[in-house]
Copies of this chain bind each other. A is one copy, B any other.
Amino acid sequence: MPAYATNMRLKFPIVALVLEILTIVLFAVFVVYDDGKGHDAHGNSTATHQEEAVDPMTLYPMFQDVHVMIFIGFGFLMTFLKRYGFSSVGLNLLLAAFALQWGLLMQGLWHLDNGKIKVNIFKMINADFSTATVLISFGAVLGKTSPVQLLIMTILEITIFGINEHLVAEILGANDVGASMIIHAFGAYFGLAVARMLYRPALRNGHENDGSVYHSDLFAMIGTVFLWMFWPSFNSAIANPGADQLMAVTNTYFSLAACVLSAYAVSSLVEHKGKLDMVHIQNATLAGGVAVGTCADMNIGPFGAMLIGFVAGIISTLGFKFLSPILASSLGIQDTCGVHNLHGMPGILGGIAGIVAVALGKKDGSAAMQAAALASSLGFALVGGAITGLVMKLPFLSQPPDQNCFDDSIYWEVPEEEEVEESLAHGEHSTNKAEA
């Protein structure tokens, strides 16, 4: 265990407590239960909106699927690192728990009803959605940031997300039911911009802890598979009930299935001796869910969805193999989880597919507005991420030193690796691995 203190002793608790107390105060002022009698900001009854189903619990099973994606899916997907599992699943829980509260406020403030945010399942799904953007960005900077930095990122990112989401959905009136643009592309490019600002030259040649071990890769597969299974819920949760929702489920189900085949094929094709690479399998198999997001409730046909997924699996795998190393070496973008390949490029693909699909009349809308939505999402992400990255560099936010990156023990009490240690003791070696 390192001998230094984590320098978080007071900063982190104070920041966390102050943020939570502030949030509770804001909730006391603004947030009430939904009484089923909604009115929008202009005084019109919202009773015809999809959020006003007769039974207020109709969306609850889908909400829980999304909830599992946020907390198990993202959390365990990031446990692939050999010494960063506590932080991956633990900070994922911390950030998401705060982000959903903040997200409810930041989204709700755009849709006040007599000055109040009326919370219901629909709004809880949206709060979970806003959380997803933070977790995607977290993936880009995983292992290189302190909890305090990440809480600051959460506040800024969700605030900016709320603005862009309002612009895209309400002002531009663009379609993005599965959020290829406003969540995936936004979260990825936001995170990449932050990562660029936090560039670490000393990690140019890698870091000894920036890799997996056998069982950490299996833990990561828990995340992958739960994300994969419940993605149809993510893409359909806020679709119009009935046929549209069924269409969103169907498109996502088949896009993901096709994506698995192309991701496996390309992984084998490009890798050493034709072997499969766990990094690709853990991530690129999900690109079909990202890429079909914008089009999920459009009449593109099951085979159209499969084509999108098929292409996404290829692009994503190739990105991991060829593009990520270039981004790191040439542009100084060190993307720990490769979110550019899972959320960035597939998100843009999804946005473009949406432009084309709307232009072809697969859904009511304006191709120009779709394009504007994509541009807006990328613009807010890059500018917002760059500013956020600059803020995160402020010295008192306790960025970890290079040698402690990707290592839980800087922020966590980590148990001794008793197995090896004990065995070696029997072999009359007194090496204490944890001191190494």
Contacts and interface: CB of A to CB of B under 8 A. Distances in A.
A261 B6 contact: no
Most buried by B among A32, A242, A273: A273
B89 A24 contact: no
Interface residues of A, number: 131
Contacts of A31: 301-303
Interface stretch (A181-189, A263-271, A388-396): A263-271
A320 interface: no
A156 interface: no
A418 to B, nearest CB: 6
Nearest to A28: B303
A272 B410 CA distance: 12
B260 A97 contact: yes
A411 interface: yes
A181 to B, nearest CB: 24
Interface stretch (A71-79, A133-141, A162-170, A336-344): A71-79
B420 A419 contact: yes
Name which of A61, A72, A261 has the most chain B CB atoms within 10 A of its CB.
A261
Contacts of A254: 27, 101
Given A12-B265, A215-B215, A275 B60 contact: no
A357 interface: no
Interface stretch (A40-48, A217-225, A368-376, A379-387): A217-225
A274 B7 contact: yes
A229 B67 contact: yes
Interface string A221-253: 110011011100100000001110111011001
20 contacts: A9-B273, A12-B264, A16-B261, A17-B265, A27-B302, A27-B303, A33-B246, A64-B233, A68-B229, A82-B415, A85-B214, A86-B217, A89-B218, A90-B278, A97-B258, A101-B306, A119-B302, A121-B249, A213-B415, A426-B436
Interface of A: 4-10, 12-14, 16-17, 19-21, 23-25, 27-28, 31-36, 55-57, 60-62, 64-65, 67-68, 71-72, 75-76, 79, 82, 85-86, 89-90, 93-94, 97-98, 100-101, 119-121, 124, 147, 211-215, 217-219, 221-222, 225-226, 228-230, 233, 241-243, 245-247, 249-250, 253-254, 256-258, 260-262, 264-266, 268-269, 271-278, 281, 285, 299, 301-303, 306-307, 310, 411-424, 426-427, 429, 431, 433, 436
